[in-house]
Amino acid sequence: MGEFRTIDELAAQVGHFCWLEHRIFELTGAWASEPAPDVAAINVFFHTASMVHGGLAVEWRGHLPVRAAIDPDAFVVPPPAPAAAVMADLAGAADQVTRLSGLVGVVLPRLLATYSADLVQASPVSEAPVRALLALAAFSGQSELERGNRLLQSALQIAEQPGKVREFGQALERSLNDTIGIFPSAWAS
C-alpha cells in the first residue's frame, strides 16, 4: 500500500470513476439504439453495458463525500488527460464495430487496469467501501471484457473494413501513450 490518501484525493478519484462510468453509460445507451444489421448482438452488448455502467456510475456517485458547503457533484469531472480526449474520440467512432473495438479493445481494459491498481493501493481500513466497489467493478468488468472480445472477433470477420477498425483502436492506444490504466498513473493511498 502507498501513502495515505486524503478525503479530497479520494473524492477526486471517485469523481473521475463516476464521470467515466457515466460517460460509458451514455455512449453505450445511445449506440444500443442504432442499427447494426450485420451483428445485432453488438446492440445487445451495448444495451447491457449501458445498464451495468449506469449502475456503477450511480454507485460511485454514492461514494462521494457529503460535507457541509461542498457539492459532491463538483467532484464528478473528467479524469486527467488523455482520458477525456479518448472518450471524445470514442464518441466520434463511425460505426458499431469500430465503437465496440474502441470500447473493448482500449477503454474497458484500461479502466479495468485502473480499478485493479487502485484496489491494490486502497486502504482496507479507511477505504473499505471504495475497495468493495472497486472489487465489484473489476469483477464485472472482466466478464464484460471477455464477452466483448468474443463479440468483437466475430464482428471483425464480417466487417467491411477491418483495417480501419484496427487503426481506430491503435489511435486510441497512442492517445493513452504509455499509461497502464485510463489515468496517467494510479493514485497512491
Output the 3-class SS for the chain: CCCCCCHHHHHHHHHHHHHHHHHHHHHHHHHHCCCCCCCHHHHHHHHHHHHHHHHHHHHHHHCCCCECCECHHHHCCCCCCCHHHHHHHHHCCCCHHHHHHHHHHHHHHHHHHHHHHHHHHCCCCCCHHHHHHHHHHHHHHHHHHHHHHHHHHHHHHHCCCHHHHHHHHHHHHHHCCCCCCCCCCCCCC
Residue 97 burial (CB count, 10 A) = 25
The 10s digit of each residue's pLDDT in 11-35 is: 999 999 999 999 999 999 999 998 7
DSSP-assigned beta bridge partners for residue 70: 67
pTM for this prediction:
0.91
* Tens place of pLDDT per residue across the chain (189 aa): 556 788 889 999 999 999 999 999 999 999 999 877 677 899 999 999 999 999 999 999 999 988 877 888 999 999 887 889 999 999 999 899 999 999 999 999 999 999 999 999 888 888 999 999 999 999 999 999 999 999 999 988 877 778 888 899 889 988 887 666 776 554 443
Q: Output Rg (C-alpha) for the chain, integer angstroms.
A: 17
CA distance 118 to 85: 22
Residue linked to cell 488527460: 81
Tell me the three cell numbers of residue 61: 456517485
Distance CA 38, CA 25 (A): 23
pLDDT of 133: 97
